[in-house]
């Protein structure tokens, strides 16, 4: 497997995660270069929920911090980097990066694979890609069972992904499942694996993207809560206060 030399990243810790500091354009180019070289790499997109999950789950913290890119996907993390280190970092959101990577993959002849989500959502994603990126090659799709996979099943999936020829694998299992899955399959799949969470419904139009002013203001979570109150109420009203408390402790310890 050819190794592409990408520039070493500077990282800074926010509570539990070591966030990559680099421009959006550089992140995109590094990922595409690694994909061209057939490298086995992983990219995680961190938000407040992931930070708090990782604080209480050492396996998740190791999986995310061991990724090649740990992207600040969420305005509160950008604010935190500024407050802690005086760093101005661009937002590196998976839902923004995925369409750009699909376009880049089409231009460079890189096959892509969609793993996770549901069969219906995967079918919609394939249809959308065929319309927007006619030259893009879809190497395959797979919606795994909801239950935990056996070691043998994961080995078979790794073999399936490798045999597909995919160079970019978009993993839509949600946190923490997708981050742990990618960490286990790292060095088994000659592709860049990206944990995209709920980005597929945004791509297909099944879910709405918050207006840009809401995304910039740091209250995107309220927009998402209004869309999915039953699923997200407990998450936001538990993790948000925990994050603020943990961040204040980190600031006061400096």
Can you tell me the distance from the alpha carbon of 210 to that of 208, in angstroms, rounded to the nearest whole number? 6
Rounded to the nearest integer, the mean pLDDT of the chain is 92
Question: DSSP string of 34-46?
Answer: HHHTT--EEEEEE
Q: How many CB atoms lie within 10 A of CB 59?
A: 12
Proportion of the chain above pLDDT 90, given as a percent: 81
* Averaged pLDDT, 207-223: 71
Q: What pTM was estimated for this model as a whole? A: 0.91
Identify the band that residue 206 occupies on the pLDDT scale cut at 50, 70 and 90. confident
Show the DSSP H helices in 90-219 as ranges: 94-108, 119-132, 151-164, 177-185, 199-204, 212-217
Determine whether 207 is exposed, middle or buried from the number of CB atoms within 10 Å of its CB (0-12, 13-18, 19+).
middle
> Before 197, cis peptide (omega within 30)?
no
pLDDT at 115: 99
Phi-psi region for residue 140, left (φ > 0), alpha (ψ -120 to 50) or beta? left
Of 108-112, 197-201, 209-213, give the lowest mean pLDDT range: 209-213
* Averaged pLDDT, 30-51: 98
Tens digit of each residue's pLDDT (9 = 90 or more) over 115-138: 999 999 999 999 999 999 999 999
Q: Which residues pair with 11 in a beta bridge?
A: 20
Tokens 């740091």 found at: 218
Q: Are strands 17-21 and 10-14 parallel, antiparallel or unpaired?
A: antiparallel
Q: Which residues pair with 95 in a beta bridge?
A: none
82-111 b/e with 16+ CB inside 10 Å = b? eebbeeebbebbbbbbbbebbebbbeeebb
Residue 188 gets which letter from DSSP? T
Is residue 221 predicted with pLDDT exceeding 70?
no
Identify the band that residue 1 occupies on the pLDDT scale cut at 50, 70 and 90. very low
Residue 3 gets which letter from DSSP? -
């Amino acid at each position: 497997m050819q190794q592409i030399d990408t520039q070493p990243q500077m990282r800074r810790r926010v509570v539990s995660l070591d966030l990559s500091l680099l421009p959006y354009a550089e992140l995109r180019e590094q990922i595409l270069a690694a994909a061209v070289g057939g490298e086995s790499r992983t990219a995680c997109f961190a938000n407040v929920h992931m930070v708090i999950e990782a604080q209480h789950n050492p396996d998740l913290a190791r999986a995310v911090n061991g990724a090649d890119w740990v992207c600040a996907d969420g305005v509160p993390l950008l604010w935190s980097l500024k407050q802690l280190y005086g760093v101005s970092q661009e937002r590196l959101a998976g839902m923004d990066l995925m369409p750009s990577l699909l376009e880049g993959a089409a231009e460079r002849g890189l096959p892509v694979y969609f793993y996770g989500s549901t069969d219906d959502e995967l079918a919609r994603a394939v249809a959308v890609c065929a319309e927007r990126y006619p030259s893009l090659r879809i190497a395959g799709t797979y919606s795994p069972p909801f239950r935990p996979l056996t070691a043998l099943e994961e080995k078979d999936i790794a073999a399936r992904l490798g045999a597909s020829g995919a160079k970019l694998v978009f993993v839509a299992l949600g946190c923490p499942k997708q981050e742990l899955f990618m960490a286990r399959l790292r060095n088994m799949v000659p592709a860049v694996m990206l944990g995209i969470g709920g980005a597929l419904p945004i791509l297909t139009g099944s879910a709405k993207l918050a207006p840009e002013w809401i995304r910039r203001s740091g209250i995107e979570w309220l927009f998402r809560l209004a869309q999915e109150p039953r699923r997200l109420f407990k998450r936001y009203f538990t993790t948000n206060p925990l994050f603020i408390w943990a961040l204040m402790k980190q600031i006061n310890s400096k």
